[in-house]
Structure 1
Amino acid sequence: MRPDLRAYLLGDDGHRVFGPGPVDLLERVGELGSLRAAAIEMGMAYTKATRLVRDAERAFGFALTERTVGGSGGGGSQLTAEARELIERYRAFERTSRWALSASYETCFSGFADVPRLGCVVMASGEGARFGGAPGEKLVAPLAGVPVLERTLAALPADLLDVVVVTRWDAVEELCRRLGVRCVRAAGPLKSDTMRAGLEALGHRAGCLFVTGDQPLLSEKSVRSMVAALTHEPTAIVRLAWRGRAANPVLWPNDTLGALARLEGDTGGRVLLDGHAELEGRVRLVEAADERELADVDTPEDLARLECETKGTGSFVSFQK
């Protein structure tokens, strides 16, 4: 299954004045040096070809062809400079329109029929030095009896997202194996290493959600709302927020993923937004239902506080494959 597009230019009266047929005709005129020969090659009546050219000339206000005289064929037609510029502009418009259509289709139909779901990279490579213990230990530490990372994974709906956990730690890999979650190793200790490994593992996607593995109170409802926001506006950069304060996770559209994969150093996607007004203008915030959704676990005290705040609420669910 794939989308299709026919890009037409309409006059002020709403009637088509230029599109796939006329541009093909003009390109053949340029190749063959004859409007009549171009029409014959396309299986089109010469009267129709003449009408298409004349209608377009009236709409644009300049000539598209000019007669040539002499030669073995007794004369013909050649394109004007304006016609060549029109062809170039139209083809560029057509290419970008097709790209936008494809991106929108893959986003709006992600997970439907044969269209891949959106990707999700769970960042689980940090050492967690402030938490203490073995590197990565905080991600498997229990919160109300369930590992922190498992609670984060529970918020990621399998019908919307293909999830890959990126880590450097055996304990995280073992937890993912137990849960049946795909896990890959980062090539290095930097955030950019983790992001790149996740994107490479997922392959082409219409968009990708980046989630920190130590965000255990993230809710599935909020993640679904973020995906809905991207589906509504396929070029948006969607961020979870609380009272207008942007935070993690972040859902990036397809046209930004290449730049994310090329990042270097211990930096995340924020570096793409800093100083880039066009990207900043595409950020859309989705309000979390609770401020605690934005909390991450950096220290044992953070973990203890979250345990106290959530005890008895019944708000946690275990990961379901």
Structure 2
Amino acid sequence: MSQLRLRPRRLVLVGSVLVDLLLYVERLPERGGDLLAERALQAVGGGFNVLMGALRLGLPAAYAGRIGDGPMGYRVRAELAAAGIPVLLPPVVGRDTGFDIGLVEPDGERTFVTAPGVEAELSLPELEGLALQEGDAVYVSGYDLCYPLSGAALEAWLPGLAPGCLLVLDPGPLVATIPTQRLEQVLRRVDVLSLNARELQLLSGEEEPARGAARLCSQLAPQGVVVARVGAEGCWLVSAGGVPLRVAPRPARVVVDTTGAGDAHVAAFLAALAGGRNLEEAAYEANVAASLAVERAGPATTPTRAELEMALAEGRKGGGEWE
């Protein structure tokens, strides 16, 4: 299987960091009804999950998005500062950052409603003014491609992204609402497409993950890679001209919250590539990281490098499929 054309050196997240308000419920309420949450959690989420995941696994990270100066924005800026993650754009005065409300069911599945703020209003001049570096992995979420202002700016900017940068896209749950022409244009520049089984089916029109991943790979940049996350079954990996490969999972001991699973997966995949692993090794490390993430409550649950190495060592000792 071919390799990425560049090894990522830094993760630059372009788009949305906002506040998650998570409610853990026994079931979703019926329309017009009400429900008492068993517990609640408030945390900075969205793109923050990916940034923290990269940082915990040794890949430097920076945030290239907008932050407001209201209560939500203050929380976001404080969390980024505490983590030592640089912010590449100045604060937006007089406006606030957005938030989302997530309902988490007992099996860990989550359902979101998002109220966007200033993070959804990136402009083309802001993007053109970013000081990117050789080897930067520029991460974009499908949420940002959906937003009218950010989406239009990204559509104009991403196709001309410098060849010294990698473009990483996670289309997210709103994939079906991204304007078709915008998505097609962006995909032609994408180096890494990471998505879950539902998003894969919606985007490819294929029910079989291997066929869907192969179909999407043909729409990416030369040497592009598709990482199709299929939950407890691991992931499918396809590179340009290659045969789809299923990479083995690490079964989670218990599924508590799937909120940050995909974010942990893509962060671990990029961090492993930065550390010199090949695509298959990186995909397996990402599977293990995601399985550890779902064992914890909250959005930014990517394991540390030490925790990931311990789980990898346990897998090797157990003589699993990876061996």
- Report the TM-score when normalising by structure 1: 0.25
Higher relative contact order (CA 8 A, sep 6+): 2
Which is richer in helix?
1
Q: Which has the larger radius of gyration?
A: 1
- Report the TM-score when normalising by structure 2: 0.25
